[in-house]
Amino acid sequence: MKIAVVGTGYVGLVVGACLAENGNTVICVDKEASKIATLNDGKMPIYEPGLEEIVRRNRHEERLSFTTDLTGAVNAAEIVFIAVGTPQDEDGSADLQHVLAVAREVGRAMNKYTVVVDKSTVPVGTAARVRDAIGRETTQAFSVVSNPEFLKQGAAVEDFMKPDRVVIGIDDARAQEVMRELYRPFTRTGAPIMFMDTASAELSKYAANALLATRISFMNEIANVCELVGADVDQVRRAIGADRRIGTSFLFPGVGYGGSCFPKDVKALVRAAADKGYAFDILRAVEAVNQSQKTRLVEKMESYFKGLKGRSIALWGLAFKPRTDDMREAPAIAIIERLLAKGATVRAYDPEAASTARSLFGNRITICEKGYDALSGVDALAVVTEWNEFREPDFDRMRTLMKSPVVFDGRNIYSPGQMQSLGFTYFSIGR
Residue 201 has pLDDT above 90, yes or no: yes
Contact 317, 254 (CB under 8 A): no
Measured in whole angstroms, the distance separating CA 144 from the mean position of its chain's CA atoms is: 26
Rounded to an integer, what is the distance from CA 74 to the centroid of its chain?
Answer: 28
pLDDT confidence tier of residue 326, bands split at 50, 70 and 90: very high
Write the DSSP symbol of residue 152: P
Q: 205-292 and 294-427: same fold?
A: no
Domain 2-196 belongs to what architecture?
3-Layer(aba) Sandwich (3.40)
301 pLDDT higher than 90: yes
Task: Residues 205-292: name the CATH superfamily.
Answer: N-(1-d-carboxylethyl)-l-norvaline Dehydrogenase; domain 2 (1.10.1040.10)
Q: Where are the domains of the chain?
A: 2-196, 205-292, 294-427
Render pLDDT for 31-69 as a digit per residue (tens, 0 to 9). 999 999 999 999 999 999 999 999 999 999 999 999 999
Tell me, what DSSP letter sits at residue 23? T
pLDDT of residue 345: 98
What are the pLDDT digits (tens) for 116-169? 999 998 999 999 999 999 999 999 999 999 999 999 999 999 999 999 999 999
Q: What is the pLDDT of residues 229-265, one digit of tens each?
A: 999 999 999 999 999 999 999 999 999 999 989 999 9
**Predicted local distance difference test score (pLDDT) of residue 8:** 96
Q: Taking residues 10-26, what's their average pLDDT?
A: 97
Asked about 226 being catalytic, the answer comes back as: no
CATH for the 294-427 domain, from 2.160.10.10, 3.40.50.720, 3.10.129.10, 3.40.50.620:
3.40.50.720
| Confidence bin at 90 (pLDDT 50/70/90) | confident
Task: Please tell me the distance from the alpha carbon of residue 397 to that of residue 408, in angstroms, as a whole number.
Answer: 17
- Judge contact between 226 and 232, C-beta under 8 A: yes
**18, 28, 226, 261: which one is catalytic?**
261
